[in-house]
Amino acid sequence: MTSPTPDWKAALSASDRYETIQKIQQSLGSSSMSDAIAIEQAAFQVSSTQPTASPPPQSALYDDLLRESEEGVRIGSYTNCTPVSEGVTSQVYRSGDKALKVIVAYQNIEPHNPQREAKILTTLRGPCIPLIEVFRDQEQQFVLVFPFMPYTLADLLDKGPLPLADVRAIFTDALHALRDIHAQGIVHRDIKPSAILLASPTGPAYLSDFGTAWHPELSARSEPPNDKILDIGTGAYRTPETLFGDKSYGPPVDMWGLGVMLSEAIRDPPVTVFESRPAHEDGNQLGLILSIFKTLGTPTPETWPEAKAFRISPFELWTVFPARPWDVILPDVDPDFRQLVASLVRYDGQRATAEQLITTRQSPETISICTETTMLSNPDTASGSRKSRRLPKPIAREETGEVKNKFWLRTMSKRLTLEAEIVNAGFEADAGWKMDDANDEIWENVGGSDTEM
């Protein structure tokens, strides 16, 4: 017969127990809460009386539980391994300054493939997370070893909004990682806050979680370039093209995920612009599609021409929602970051690339408004010929510190948004155009002449 639960245990609220867990976590000096939760649960089970105050650090029970937590388990030659997180096919442990990703699935569940992940990681460089070694443990489970990072972007967002300077630093590192992998034809396919690891709350940041990444050589046999797996991504960070059956997707799916993640990081409180049910719930994909359409507006063949070739049409049998401007979607946020999100979270093939965003800022000393002269054409001229106008040549500005970063962000985001809008809408040959702000006149009104600048 089971002994009844003491009255004091039944009276404990969830907040009371959570407060105790926080105190234990502070005593451990650990950023992970899993150890503190284990200690609190064990103490709760074996205690027969309620302590009148926080348990003294030297109590026998506390010491025994803490010692057990510190000892952890042995994985290969690594001792004191304590659990940190777990995923679909793996569990992650910490051993000192190392993180061990133990593959617990008995067979590969595509697109998860740890052997391919290890091979991909050996070709990468920072700010992608470096792979230290791989081995098989005493149970013959495949193990990947990385440097341990105490934070993820998800951890920081759970605690509230981030300073814009930290957002800028973290996402700059993420952009460099994406630029490098995209240059090799690699598609990460699962960009999300928990995949961004951080050495400190302000960075540096590292892109991780390459377990479902697509590689043009290593993946081509199981997933040809035009027949990739569609079950990729996580929650609200999934892309509309994969939801509508486009198996020829590429790096733009990562840029969409980055844009959704950025939209979350600049909001207060940090929440994504789209809503998504957990993956195991029925209708989660339809729910995400509905949220995207409500937020961005229902796409049309004009706003998403690439979708004409998709296996599932996004243009039929859907409730039509009007398009909304980004200052309505993301009010009360930094306007420059908002424009960056707008350049990434869009249906068509004009999403900004990591290379574009990085090369706009050419060096720490010199910032170029345009990295190359770009032709903009109006196909609807009266004579049928294609009148052209070039954007201004690069203008070098000497900036330092915070001013430099803000100027880079402003010019980069405005340039990308302007280019996309002009390309999509067509350029009116007789209409002048101007782009400026309160302090920096970037492009002067050029009038109606067809002369190149």
> What are the residue numbers of the active site?
190
Cis ω before 331 (30° cut-off from 0): no
Q: What is the dihedral of CA 435, 179, 346, 318, to 10 degrees?
A: 180
Say if residues 378 and 387 touch (Cβ distance below 8 Å). yes
Is the dihedral angle over the CA atoms 159, 165, 168, 171 positive or is it negative? negative
Residues recorded for the chain: 453
Dihedral angle computed from the Cα positions of residues 368, 373, 379 and 380, in that order, rounded to the nearest 10 degrees: 60
Does a cis peptide bond (omega within 30 degrees of 0) precede residue 269?
yes
Q: Measuring CA to CA, how many Å separate 111 from each of 35, 88, 189, 195, 233?
A: 31, 11, 10, 16, 11
φ/ψ of residue 31, rounded to 5: -80, -15
Separation between Cα atoms, residue 137 and residue 152, nearest integer Å: 26
Spell out the long-range contacts of 82-89 with Cβ–Cβ below 8 A and sequence spacing 24 or more: 82/32, 82/34, 82/35, 83/34, 84/32, 84/34, 85/194, 87/211, 88/112, 89/114, 89/211
The enclosing H or E element of 154 equals: helix 153-158
C-alpha angle 129-252-125 in degrees, rounded to nearest 5: 20
Structure tokens at 119: 């091979």
Is residue 187 within 8 A of residue 138, CB to CB? The reply is no
Rg (CA), the chain: 26
DSSP state of 204: -
Strands, sheet with 73-75, edge to edge from the N-terminal-most edge strand: 73-75, 78-86, 90-95, 98-103, 142-147, 133-136
Question: How far is it, in rounded angstroms, from Cα 241 to Cα 230?
Answer: 9
Among 259, 253, 422, 233, which Cα is nearest to 326's? 259
The span from the CA of 261 to the CA of 30, in Å, is: 26
**Which token pair is 327?**
């200052």
